Amino acid sequence: MATTGPTPQRKRAVIYCRVSTDKQEQDGESLDYQEEKCKQYSELHNIEIVLILREAKSGFIHYSHREKLTLARQFIRDHLADVIIVYDLRRFSRNFVHSAMIFEEVESNGGEIVSVSENIDNSLTGKLIRSILAWSAESEREKIVEYANRRWQTRVGVGLPVGTGRSPYGWNWKDKEKTAYVVNQEQAAVRMSLFHMFVELDMSLRAVTHKLTEDRVLTPTYARKFQEQPPDDSEIKIEHCLWRYTTVRELLMDLENIGILVVCKERQKIGSDGKRKAEVHPNRREVPGGIPALIDPVIYERAQEKLKTNKADKSHLPLRKEDYLLRGHIYCATCGCSMKPRTQKKGRLTQKGTDKSYPFYRCTNTHNRYGACPALTTIRTAPLDDIVWQDCCVLFKRIEVLQAALEAEMAAAINALLEDTTGQEQIQNIEATIAYAGSEREKYVPGSYMHNLISQDIANQEEQLARFKEEIGSGNIDKVIGSYQQRIMEFLEFLNVMRGRYEKATFQEKRNALEVLGVRVVVHEPTDTYGLPSDALGIGNGQEWFSAKEAGKLLGVHAKTIRFYQKNGTITNYKEEPFLLVHRDELLKLHKKGFLQRNTEEIVRSRVAISYSPHFNVRGENGTGVQLSKQNDWAFLSQAQVSPSSPHMRHDPRLDK
């Protein structure tokens, strides 16, 4: 009887698909197309698919900054997959050296790379072909960049638009060759209406955005999206019309409004972190008459002058900064946005000559009323500022615990920084890259394209290596540690100087303490709370009728409050001759129910949550370093978390020790 051998184990594969831009999705190599071809290959060769990764990033970005590719490499290193399947080798990188490093890493860990569209094996000949294709991918990119630069420089030289992007809002391209602009009547009408509302009707930027949203005018983004096929009125959603005042301001400031075409406004640069950054183009140029004008220059200048004064007038600077201790430290619990200082003006003085205006904080998430904060939370500065500072004072008085916690965290952070091997690993990786690139450069004739290309890459790597060595050098570490220790000692010195007189600290000293402690106050919406004022008296037996003044004194409120309750129907048993008299039963009802409490200390404490997150960091210029303290580590130092009246504060048992 014949015996059957063991069934061979199926290979495990990770499918990696990448496109450079969203526009490439419309071409023949979309993510879906690549994924489908890779799946067909795996089914044909009986390969098990363990993970499918899709990424939209440029192949010129360093491969270590592409998260999906890093995950695929990690699967190979952890032996969770045996193969990485790609549609073509250009999906890995358009840098010859980077491609070689990826191939070396995968093969050294026992994995292999399969290209669906290119039948290449792992023989010496296959590796040679693979290297040629990697060089071809980088060369192709260089030619594309060179052609694009030569094309726009030629067009600008003869007075034509750059013609490499989309037309500005309000204009269309005249032809497919993009030789000139023509006015888009519908979008141009929107531009002209912006100037009419802002200049002639004297509307604010936010009022203009609200008007455009109410009239269901598509934003520039969605106007371009629906340009080929305009939607019906029923298909237009509110999200398509949510204008922002920043968009209106940019449209008002465009020089294209008066016929001046600006070419090469900015350029996109890929930083060392792999992210795109915008910067002013060195070849920025203004071409008068390069685009049809829409706005009268006089109206345009009036708009620019109003924008200057509008920015100064609407900056909402507080009248008295000393009235707003928590400015920059207070946030709305509903939407998470910061609350800004405001002043409620009553417009008159009381009979005693005292001003009835008062400062308060308000949520300012009102960019557009349709997407604004639903609560728009407000809270007075008094007694909130005093409550928060008193809470800080309790923390300051525990100086021994605070100092011990700071010294312990400082020691732990410094040890972590000294023992951190991340910088050394990065230096070793860069040195290995330089060594490999040096060996590859020796294979080419000096002065050749590949020799110069690898030399340029080596120069960049050596510059980065020098920065890392300087960053983790002993002198730099001593400097960082010394700066941090000085900051800690200055804060502890402030506590020692202010010991026993925290309540008498100046406004600037309080602000400095809030900054160092990283105080964050979150304000929740108010809830209806009824009760009696602290100066309310008991209602004795015997007297049946009370005047408004007498009733107010017994209940601890003003006589006007009694009259208000009589007018709104709350008090029903009363007499009006010769003056308002309220029956004793009505006072008993009010005494039992109480009055709506709004700004008492107990209510304010129940609405706020105070947390601390000290801003002490040991961090270098390259972003490497140690975060010293977290909010939870400091929770036990906060007396605010002991308050039983606040549902937003927690009790920590370590405070009882």
pLDDT band for position 456 (cuts 50, 70, 90): confident
Is residue 109 within 8 Å of 76, Cβ to Cβ?
yes
Partnered with residue 359 across adjacent β-strands are 343
Most confident of 384-393, 470-479, 643-652: 384-393
Distance, CA of 619 to CA of 626 (rounded, Å): 6
Residues 209-233 as b/e (b if ≥16 CB within 10 A, e otherwise) read bbbbbeeebbbbebbeeeeeeeeee
In the structure, what pLDDT confidence band is assigned to residue 26 with cuts at 50, 70 and 90? very low
Question: Could you tell me if 325 and 514 are in contact, meaning their C-beta atoms sit under 8 angstroms apart?
Answer: yes
C-beta separation of 73 from 102 below 8 A: yes
For residue 656, pLDDT over 50 is answered with no
pLDDT digits (tens, 9 = 90+) for 97-121: 777 788 888 888 888 888 888 777 6
Distance from C-alpha of 355 to C-alpha of 343, rounded to nearest angstrom: 12
**What angle in degrees, to the nearest 10, is found between the helix axes of 507-517 and 474-497?**
130
Quick one: 12-143 is in which CATH superfamily?
A: Resolvase, N-terminal catalytic domain (3.40.50.1390)
pTM value > 0.75 = no
Give 536's Cβ-side CA count (13 Å radius).
Answer: 16
Tell me: the pLDDT tens digits for 383-428?
899 999 888 888 777 767 777 777 776 677 667 666 655 566 777 7
Domain boundaries, the chain: 12-143, 171-310, 529-597
CB-based contact 582:566 (threshold 8 Å)? yes
pLDDT at 522 over 90: yes
Rounded Cα gap, residues 234 and 239, in angstroms: 13
Q: Which two tokens stand for residue 480?
A: 């960082």
b/e for 610-638, b at 16 or more Cβ within 10 A? Answer: bbbbbebebebeeebbbebbeeeebbebb
Looking at the predicted structure, is the pLDDT value of residue 504 above 70? yes
pLDDT for 154 equals 67
| Residue type present at position 319 | L
Count the neighbouring beta carbons within 10 Å of the beta carbon of residue 93.
25
Distance between CA 99 and CA 457 in Å, rounded? 13
Q: Which two tokens stand for residue 221?
A: 């983004």
How confident is the model over 138-165, as a mean pLDDT? 65
Please report, to the nearest 10 degrees, the dihedral formed by the alpha carbons of residues 445, 447, 451, 453 taken in order: -160
CATH classification code of 171-310:
3.90.1750
Say how far apart CA 229 and CA 218 lie, in whole Å.
Answer: 13
What pLDDT does residue 354 have?
Answer: 58
**3 state DSSP class of 127:** helix
CATH fit for domain 529-597, picks 3.40.50.800, 1.10.1660.10, 1.10.10.10, 1.10.287.70:
1.10.1660.10
Residues near 391 by beta carbon (within 8 Å), at least 6 away in sequence: 610, 638, 639, 640
